[in-house]
Amino acid sequence: MNKPITLRFWILVSIVAISGFSQGMLLPLIAIIFEQDGVSSSMNGLHATGLYIGILVASPLMEAPLRRFGYKPVILVGIFLVAISLAFFPVWKSYWFWFILRLAIGIGDHMLHFATQTWITSFSAKERIGRNISIYGLFFGLGFAAGPLMIGLVKINTALPFLLASAISLAAWLTVWLLKNEHPEHDTDSTSFFGTMKRFRKVFQYAWIAFLPPFGYGFLEASLNGNFPVYAIRSGIGVDAVALLLPAFAIGGILSQLPLGILSDKLGRRNVLIVVTLSGFLTFTAAGLLESSTIGLLICFFLAGTLVGSTFSLGISYMADLLPKSLLPAGNLMCGIFFSFGSISGPFIGGIAIQWLKGISFFYVISTMLLLIFIALVSVRPNVSEKKGTA
């Protein structure tokens, strides 16, 4: 990459890290505040879906502004919406007011993710897409992992973590002004809502298989963070073990993002996804068998993070392989939509399994989902050259 492209790339992935930071802070911070205020666990869990509902509501409406105004304005509006929403949390402590703010953060986060993903996939050379998107995923993961460190600031002042996260987001917003605006490659269809729906149908027809890994990652991440603590307490695993196991998964995913991305450039996205989903299935099955051993679970969680912690970024890269550049905006939107579907359905299905499937390990729910994605990846072999020529 030449110098302007390199600067643009590192600014974009830094913005994604800030987004991960705000999300990683909000999930546990609001859950703890509500728990201390006596809000029920079900209402607490419902509140967490606000971010993903925001993504789903906004997704069909985002492509037209991106094509009309370009990447830079969409990113600027997205970050500004996140920063302002974070700053408003201390204004009024209300369940539904905070839900609306979370919804707004979901919309803003999706705007900046959608625009940055599409921009990176559009200017990246084919042989470097896996590497670049894996760095994108790595920076988001680092930010997400750093977010919970803000929780301790609540002891000083409840408003402090929200205001500090807002200030960091505004600092990232200022760096975007350094970038020169660009527009996505022109498409012959209209940029209206109906044009977006038409492109969605076309994208799904060509690249539906690439949306299963983002769905799977959303299902997995939300289930582990939302269901596993409840299952662990009921199974006698203990809160201390949960505090050790979840970071082990996150660390594994951070360490493997870049190596797996580079490997997928050399060996092919589909081949790497087949290996990691099968290995993830085996690892979570092993976790179900070893759940009485904290050491055994720790090893399984770390291996699982190393193997399937990159499925979202690999899915984006796979989608970019299958689609022409004119369909990348719609393709990136659908990656976000499927991730949201997974994030909403994971805790729901996991909760039903914990409640009704007595004597059956919660980990088998996740391993079954990964097995189904593995079977789909093995069964479907898209003709990339044919897809590239159609749009």
- Give pLDDT tens digits for 223-252: 887 777 777 777 787 777 777 888 888 889
Structure tokens at 12: 């974009």
Question: Chain-wide mean pLDDT for the chain?
Answer: 84
pTM for the full model?
0.79
Q: CA of 79: how far to CAs of 86, 141, 301, in Å?
A: 11, 18, 33
Query: Locate tokens 């996804």: which residue?
Result: 273
Average pLDDT over residues 379-383: 78
Average pLDDT over residues 283-299: 91
Give the model's pLDDT for residue 296.
92
- Give pLDDT tens digits for 98-131: 999 999 998 998 899 889 988 988 888 877 888 8
Give the model's pLDDT for residue 275.
96
Nearest CA among 113, 120, 117, 134 for reference residue 265: 134
Binned at pLDDT 50, 70 and 90, residue 327 comes out as: confident
- Least confident segment among 181-190, 195-204, 244-253, 346-355: 181-190
Nearest CA among 228, 233, 211 for reference residue 346: 228
Contact 211, 334 (CB under 8 A): yes
Average pLDDT over residues 10-26: 87
Percentage of the chain beyond pLDDT 70 is 92
How far does CA 11 lie from the centroid of its chain?
19
Contact 222, 344 (CB under 8 A): yes
State which amino acid sits at residue 86. Answer: L
Binned at pLDDT 50, 70 and 90, residue 283 comes out as: very high
Query: Locate tokens 């399937």: which residue?
Result: 308
- The span from the CA of 186 to the CA of 76, in Å, is 22
Give the model's pLDDT for residue 41.
63
Average pLDDT over residues 40-63: 78
In the Cβ-directed half-sphere of 201, how many Cα atoms lie within 13 Å?
A: 6
Give the model's pLDDT for residue 386.
41
- The span from the CA of 211 to the CA of 230, in Å, is 29
- Least confident segment among 39-43, 79-83, 155-159, 209-213: 39-43
State which amino acid sits at residue 42. Answer: S
Contact 105, 55 (CB under 8 A): no
Give the model's pLDDT for residue 388.
43
- Give yes or no for residue 216 having a pLDDT over 80: yes
φ/ψ bin of 243: left (φ > 0), alpha (ψ from -120 to 50), beta (otherwise):
alpha
State which amino acid sits at residue 171. Answer: A
Query: Locate tokens 């590239």: which residue?
Result: 388
Give the model's pLDDT for residue 187.
58
